[in-house]
Amino acid sequence: MLAKPLNNAQISEPFYFRPVMKTPYSKHFTSPQDLVSLLKDRGLEIKSKEKAIDYLTNIGYYRLSSYCYPLLKSPKSEHFYKANASFDLVMNMYRFDRKLRMLLFNEIEKIEVAIRSAMSNIITEGLNDVFWITNPKNFYNQSILQKL
């Protein structure tokens, strides 16, 4: 018996006949120490070089770079920072975003649990069957039951 493609995916032609378009990646590795120097050269105020190196090592430059973006002068493609732009401000925006995300996900989880509970209660009461989820007759598409 032949194996089915995952999730019933249909492949129209063999993937090895498709031309592969590769974009050369020209950027090289830059150490956190060198990144701190680069950011300073571009006008970002950094009070504690050691703390900045630690944050760049543990959080990562590319994660923090999105918080640097609003602090860039126009045109932003030149990568120079506005007056009074600081690494402390970048970290404050990062911390605010992290706390906001945690608060939102906490509330979203409550909504998700409430919806699941309501669905389970309504369906169980409507079918008068606490094991409705295991009964194939409750599903038009049997593959849904098999996936569960």
Averages of pLDDT over each 10 residues, the chain, 148 residues: 54 59 84 97 97 98 95 95 97 98 96 96 95 85 75
Name the nearest CA neighbour of 60 among 30, 80, 40, 98.
30
Q: Supply 143's token pair.
A: 């593959």
Three-state SS at 60: coil
Q: How far apart are CA 145 and CA 133, in angstroms?
A: 8
The pLDDT, as a whole number, for residue 147 is 75
The pLDDT, as a whole number, for residue 9 is 54
Asked whether 88 and 47 are in contact (CB, 8 A), the reply is: yes
Whole-model pTM: value is 0.66
Q: How far apart are CA 123 and CA 130, in angstroms?
A: 9
Report the residue count for the chain.
Answer: 148
